[in-house]
Amino acid sequence: MWVRGAAIRPVPPYAVLGEGVLAAVERELGRDGELAQDALDTAFGRFDQTQPELSEYIEDLLEKPLDETALALGHFLVIAVWMAFDRSFGPRLGRVTADALAATIAAVTLEEELRAEHAEEPLDLDDVIAIEQPRVLAFVNEHVDAALEVGDGEAAKDTDVDDVHAVYRAVVIITLALSHSVAPDAGAKVRELLA
């Protein structure tokens, strides 16, 4: 059985998000009021400043005429994922370059093509990402499912699933790009030398 991505580089263990950080970010972003809006504005400003390539990439997508659900989901998921990486890895989180982003997009596209050519395989891109960043994928899927469920009835008919998928794919790309921009900690270097 083909499990690991053939085109996607494995995420190093030291770059996998731990438990709890996404939940903490979600609680912070979910607060009501002016404090939450200020925190969100500050987070977006820092994201634009520290990850300009990723910011431009997601901005290009979110500036298209997207479904409102997809647009809101895109803003929330991108900032939540980035905040989780920023809080977890701090100064070890490097800036994603244009070349690194392009390589990640190419790898995801190739992985999708390979998976489509081998439709008999029971695993798809989601399964590959779940192996690499399981907590991020669970978080993203939970919010995508919730956004689509909110639209039961008339609103569900209006939600453009293709737009939601485009946002989902962009969040996966951003997750992988951030994963590969995390520098190892001192302990990880020692473990690699001993292995």
- H helical segments located in 8-124: 21-30, 34-50, 52-62, 68-89, 98-117
Terminal CA-CA length for the chain: 26
Residue 151 reports pLDDT greater than 90: no
Render pLDDT for 168-185 as a digit per residue (tens, 0 to 9): 999 999 999 999 999 998
CA–CA dist 113, 6 (Å, integer): 11
Rg (CA), the chain: 17
Does residue 195 have a pLDDT over 70?
no
Could you give the CA distance from residue 170 to residue 172 in angstroms, rounded to a whole number? Answer: 5
- pLDDT confidence of 122, banded at 50, 70, 90? low
Distance of CA 40 to the CA centre of its chain: 17
pLDDT in tens, 17-46: 988 999 999 988 887 777 677 878 889 999
